[in-house]
Amino acid sequence: GKMAQDMTEKELLKMELDQLKKEVKNERQMVSKTAKELKEYIEAKAGEDPLLKGVPEDKNPFKEKGGCTIS
């Protein structure tokens, strides 16, 4: 597709209208309800979250393979 700066105003407005047509179909829910569900989901999964509990050295694909010496 074209970059936004290369588009005419008409093309930009059409793109925005297409996006709004998609968004209007989204089912809306109260934040008070979804925030509670989100919190419960996060707390239920916290035990297996590597960002919270870390990654064991033997399972870490990014650990240093070996040092580097400069002579």
Q: From CA 13, how far away is CA 7, in angstroms rounded?
A: 10
The amino acid that residue 21 corresponds to is: K
pTM of the model: 0.44
Q: From CA 8, how far away is CA 14, in angstroms rounded?
A: 10
- pLDDT at residue number 2: 66
Per-residue pLDDT tens digits for 7-56? 899 999 999 999 999 999 999 999 999 999 999 999 999 998 988 888 88
Domains of the chain: 4-59 (4.10.260.10)
Is 61 or 18 the better-scoring residue by pLDDT? 18
- pLDDT at residue number 1: 59
Structural contact between residues 45 and 52, judged by C-beta atoms closer than 8 angstroms: no
Is 18 or 57 the better-scoring residue by pLDDT? 18
- pLDDT at residue number 18: 97
